[in-house]
């Protein structure tokens, strides 16, 4: 069984997901994890799927989607990754303020220096406001109050508001 990573990005229209997944289903490929959204109006999808099909055959099956130049489709084989168990505590980071280059790099560097692992992240630019929301796995050894202070200071230098809060998980 081969794992494949498929990316599709380009001009949005109804039916892209139906077309991509039909091409994969016709080859007996099973969809595993996927994510799709619109990024500034562009269709953007990444999916990991599994099947016993040569890479070239998958590329040929999806090639018609890219034929008119409106979509960029890539297919790569990827190794299986063990689904890692979270080793730390779940936190949510939000950043918002006036847009400028370097916000994401500065804030995520502070997290990385503390061993914080971002497991999900979205950013939005609306008007002149930039927003980042990230779910972060923080090692239990991290002094989160001190980290929140460093993040707030970094945010203040950039003129943006940074909030780090513990994420609640309610198991029912």
* Interacting residue with other proteins among 94, 104, 117, 148 (CB under 8 A): 94
Contact track, other proteins, 63-92, x by CB under 8 A: -----------------------------x
d(CA 99, CA 27): 44
Looking at residues 131 to 160 of the shown chain, list those that interact with other proteins (rule: CB under 8 A): 131, 133-135, 159
Q: Which residues, other chains included, contact 25 with Cβ-Cβ below 8 Å and sequence gap of 6+?
A: none
Neighbours of 84 (CB within 10 A): 9
Contacts of 36 (CB under 8 A, 6+ apart): 17, 43, 44, 45, 46, 47
Largest CA distance in the chain: 53
| Contact residue for other proteins among 26, 68, 81, 168 (CB under 8 A) | 168
Min separation Cβ 148 and other proteins, Å: 12
Q: Does 36 bind other proteins (CB under 8 A)?
A: no
Is 98:128 a contact under the CB 8 Å cutoff?
yes
Sole window of 3-11, 20-28, 106-114, 161-169 interacting with other proteins (rule: CB under 8 A) = 161-169
- Which is nearer to other proteins, 2 or 144 (by Cβ)? 144
Is 17 among the residues that bind other proteins (CB under 8 A)? no
Q: Which is nearer to other proteins, 54 or 98 (CB)?
A: 98
Backbone angles phi, psi at 134, to 5 degrees: -135, 140
d(CA 65, CA 115): 40
Contact 24, 8 (CB under 8 A): no
Task: Name the site residues for other proteins (rule: CB under 8 A).
Answer: 92, 94, 96-99, 120-122, 124, 126-131, 133-135, 159, 161, 163, 165, 167-168
């Amino acid at each position: 069984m081969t794992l494949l990573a498929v990316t599709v990005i380009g001009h949005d229209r109804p039916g892209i997901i139906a077309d991509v997944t039909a091409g994969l289903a016709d080859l007996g490929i099973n969809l595993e994890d996927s994510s799709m959204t619109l990024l500034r109006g562009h269709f953007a999808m990444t999916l990991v799927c599994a099947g016993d099909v040569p890479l070239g055959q998958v590329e040929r099956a999806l090639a018609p989607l890219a034929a008119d130049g409106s979509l960029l489709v890539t297919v790569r084989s990827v190794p299986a990754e063990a689904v890692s168990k979270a080793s730390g505590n779940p936190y949510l980071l939000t950043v918002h303020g006036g847009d400028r280059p370097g916000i994401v790099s500065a804030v995520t560097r502070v997290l990385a220096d503390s061993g914080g692992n971002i497991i999900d992240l979205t950013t939005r630019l609306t008007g002149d406001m930039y927003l980042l929301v990230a779910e972060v796995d923080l090692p239990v050894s991290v002094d989160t109050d001190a980290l929140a202070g460093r993040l707030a200071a970094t945010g203040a230098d950039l003129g943006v508001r940074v909030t780090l809060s513990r994420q609640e998980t309610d198991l029912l």
